[in-house]
Structure 1
Amino acid sequence: MKIGYSFWGFLGSGITDTPDGGRSHRRPLIDAIQAAGHQVVFLQPDRDLAEAGDRIAAPYRFDSGLPDVDVLFTEWRWPIPGRNTTACGAQGHTCDLHRQAELLGHYTDGLGLPTIIWDKDRQLPAGDPLRRRSGVVVCDAAVSPSPGARSLLFPLDDALLHAADPVALAAQARPFPLSYIGNQYDRDEAFHRYFAPAAARLPHWVAGKWHDTRRWPHVTFVGRVPFREVSRMYGESLATVLLLPDRYAAVGQMTQRIFEALLAGCLPLAPATIAHTERFVPDELIVNDGAEVVTAVQRLWSIAATTEHANLIAACLAKLEMFRLSHQLQTLQEILAELAPLRPQTIGARR
């Protein structure tokens, strides 16, 4: 099938001053889709080239028009006041939302084309008519997806999981007991409950865009870091805390941070308030508050570089099986097979 794919982000490392969690998993997913025999054409601008000056080699194709496709697949965009809700050409404007509306209007509404909406940020309203529309499949990156939606988790490249060596990761020097990489968005309360109290007692750092840090004058914020630095920074850290917005935690939507950290040997502590926590980490890494974060990190420090440490990393890596790219590709293949009979015959006839 020919898939028109809409995303607002990067295939490569991109630029530092922008949020895009998809950088760790988008390109492997696209590569796997194309390796499975499908064609993919990207329908949003090539931000790698336009903003990062990074010319991504073939087999990737971008099209700013409305090419013939069999399925529209969009990473859902939502209104962000002052950014994509302003007039085209206004200072600071991004046209991701306008372009998505154009694509939905042409393909989904105009042609009745099968459409996959990957609501990666849980921003598609529960009552949106798209959720009830025939030929539209909504996917959540959650263990417990929204009613009527399908579970499509953030994919982890199988090769990276196979290559992870718990013994070698445990042997690495880790000068920082505690770290966090991620942006502030809707994480204030989780940060205040779990990370900030621990930061008062442990050497640490926090990387990412945190625009208002007045509640935590004792926390060391280092600002945004280039994507290529993420693995190195996790590789110098013993543990991190999986901080999620409430709308993620309630349905067990784990971000890519869990495998970014673990592939570098940084052990993830998971708040007990996250639904399905036991599926993400071993019981001994589940915490209820900042005091338990301190206790857990101190224990990890006491076993660092030992066989017990390596075994714990191995147990965590085993929990990543659910994110395997091959599993997520199978889910996507099943969805595409269900949608294939719904393609308007006129699409094929135009070729």
Structure 2
Amino acid sequence: MRIGYSMWGFLGDGILDTPDGARAYRRPFIDGLIAAGHEVVLLQSNRDLYEAGEDLRDRYRWHMGFPDVDALIFEWRWPLPGRNTTRCGDIGHTCDLHRQTELFDNYTAAGTPTLVWDLDRQLPADDPCRQLPNVVVGEFALRLTPGAEGLYCPVPDDLLDRADPKQLAAADRPTPLVYVGNQYDRDEAFDRYFAPAAATVPHRVVGKWTRTLAWPRVDFAGRCGFAEVEQVHRAALATVLLLPERYAAVGHMTSRWFEALLAGCLPLVPAEIHGVDAYVPPQLRVNDGHEVIEKLAWLRSIAGSAEHADLIAACLGYLEPFRCSAQVATTVKLLEGLS
């Protein structure tokens, strides 16, 4: 198939001031489609070139018109007032939503098989596009919206294949606790799980956190570049996976899970997250900040040991069903089912 792909983000490291968690898996996913024999045409602006100064045109093709395609994939965008809802040319305007609308009207409304990948759970359950016979909606969630299909956060195969539990356990990890990610809708989870533990151990919070007065004892380090995320995790013993309520209620897990784990940073996961047993063994599930403190004390006591390596190995096993290759295969099957 010749697949049109709409995404507002980067294939490379991108720029600092942008929320683009999909960078952790987007390029391996697109590479997987290409390796499976499909042609991919990128239909949004080449932000790698125009914003980050990285020229990837020798490997990937961008097109800002309406080329012939057999199928279309949207990384779904939604209205962000003051950004993509303003007029083209206005200060601060981004054209992702306008372009998505153009693509939808030109292709999807005309019957082109379309996968709407709702990465941020922003597509309303009653959106009319869900009823179109040529549209399928993919979600990360374990508890799916009626009519949607499971298309999970892809774990890059090569990174998973290279992960060595013994080497990861043996690494020096001077920071007991870290969190990498932005604040968006995570205040309640942060206050319940992370902040109490942060008061007791050295820690770092890396990301865009603009409302922090409630946590004067927390070390907010600000944003870091995408390429630095792995090093932050490699220096840390553990993290807490903090999800917005709309994610936690349905078991929608983000890339921070595998980014941390593949660097040997063990994820402590709130037990209230739906389907938590799909993500970590019982030893790493927590109910509150006090349990986070207890788990950290235990992890510090076994750091570098065979028990530590065995625990990392067990956690890596949980990533297997989420391999990028499996998500590519699911994507192709879904699109072929619409043809």
Bin the TM-score by the shorter chain.
over 0.9
Residue number in structure 1 paired with 2:37: 37
Residue by residue over 1:246-287, the C-alpha shift from the partner in whole angstroms, topping out at 9 and shown as x without a partner, is 111111111001111011100000001111101100101000
Query: Distance in 2 between the 1:162 and 1:62 partners?
Result: 30
Report whether the alignment pairs 1:183 with 2:182.
yes
Query: Distance in 1 between the 2:242 and 2:156 partners?
Result: 23
Aligned-residue offset at 1:58: 2.7
Corresponding residue SS for 1:154? coil
Report whether the alignment pairs 1:200 with 2:199.
yes
Query: Distance in 1 between the 2:58 and 2:259 partners?
Result: 26
In structure 2, give the amino acid aligned to 1:93. H
Residue number in structure 2 paired with 1:103: 103
1:277-296 to structure 2, matched below 5 A, reads: 277-296=276-295
Report whether the alignment pairs 1:252 with 2:258.
no
Corresponding residue SS for 1:122? coil
Residue number in structure 2 paired with 1:67: 67
Aligned-residue offset at 1:339: 1.7
Corresponding residue SS for 1:174? coil
Corresponding residue SS for 1:12? coil
Gaps of 5+ in 1: 341-351
In structure 2, give the amino acid aligned to 1:89. G
> Which deviates further from its counterpart, 54-63 or 190-199?
54-63
Corresponding residue SS for 2:300? helix
Query: Distance in 2 between the 1:113 and 1:172 partners?
Result: 50
Query: Stretches of 4+ moved more than 6 A in 1?
Result: none
Aligned-residue offset at 1:128: 0.3
Query: Distance in 1 between the 2:56 and 2:144 partners?
Result: 33
Residue by residue over 1:1-53, the C-alpha shift from the partner in whole angstroms, topping out at 9 and shown as x without a partner, is 11110000000000111110111100001011011111110000000011100
Query: Distance in 2 between the 1:62 and 1:39 partners?
Result: 12
Corresponding residue SS for 2:252? coil
Q: Count how many residue pairs are aligned between Structure 1 and Structure 2.
A: 339
Aligned-residue offset at 1:325: 1.2
Query: Distance in 2 between the 1:60 and 1:141 partners?
Result: 26
Corresponding residue SS for 2:51? helix
Query: Distance in 2 between the 1:290 and 1:195 partners?
Result: 6
Query: Distance in 1 between the 2:333 and 2:237 partners?
Result: 39
Query: Distance in 1 between the 2:36 and 2:227 partners?
Result: 28
Aligned-residue offset at 1:312: 0.4
In structure 2, give the amino acid aligned to 1:294. I
In structure 1, give the amino acid aligned to 2:316. L
> Which deviates further from its counterpart, 210-219 or 234-243?
210-219
Residue number in structure 1 paired with 2:326: 327
In structure 2, give the amino acid aligned to 1:2. R
In structure 2, give the amino acid aligned to 1:337. E
Report whether the alignment pairs 1:84 with 2:99.
no
Gaps of 5+ in 2: none
Residue number in structure 1 paired with 2:302: 303
Residue number in structure 1 paired with 2:23: 23
Q: Is this contact kept in 1: 2:177–2:238, CA < 8 A?
A: yes
Aligned-residue offset at 1:57: 4.5
TM-score normalised per structure 1: 0.95
Corresponding residue SS for 2:136? strand
TM-score normalised per structure 2: 0.99
Residue number in structure 2 paired with 1:172: 171
Query: Distance in 1 between the 2:57 and 2:115 partners?
Result: 26
Aligned-residue offset at 1:323: 1.1
Query: Distance in 2 between the 1:16 and 1:307 partners?
Result: 38
Query: Distance in 1 between the 2:304 and 2:208 partners?
Result: 32
Corresponding residue SS for 1:3? strand
Residue number in structure 2 paired with 1:210: 209
In structure 2, give the amino acid aligned to 1:293. V
Query: Distance in 2 between the 1:81 and 1:176 partners?
Result: 38
Q: Is this contact kept in 1: 2:114–2:335, CA < 8 A?
A: no
Residue by residue over 1:198-253, the C-alpha shift from the partner in whole angstroms, topping out at 9 and shown as x without a partner, is 11111101000011111111110000000111111100000000000111111111
Residue number in structure 1 paired with 2:219: 220
Aligned-residue offset at 1:145: 1.7
Residue number in structure 1 paired with 2:134: 135
Report whether the alignment pairs 1:144 with 2:143.
yes
Aligned-residue offset at 1:59: 2.7
Q: Is this contact kept in 1: 2:3–2:69, CA < 8 A?
A: yes
Corresponding residue SS for 1:52? coil
> Which deviates further from its counterpart, 242-251 or 153-162?
153-162
> What's the RMSD between the two structures over aligned residues?
0.8
Query: Distance in 2 between the 1:144 and 1:2 partners?
Result: 31
In structure 2, give the amino acid aligned to 1:282. P
Residue number in structure 2 paired with 1:9: 9
Residue by residue over 1:122-146, the C-alpha shift from the partner in whole angstroms, topping out at 9 and shown as x without a partner, is 0000110011111100000122221
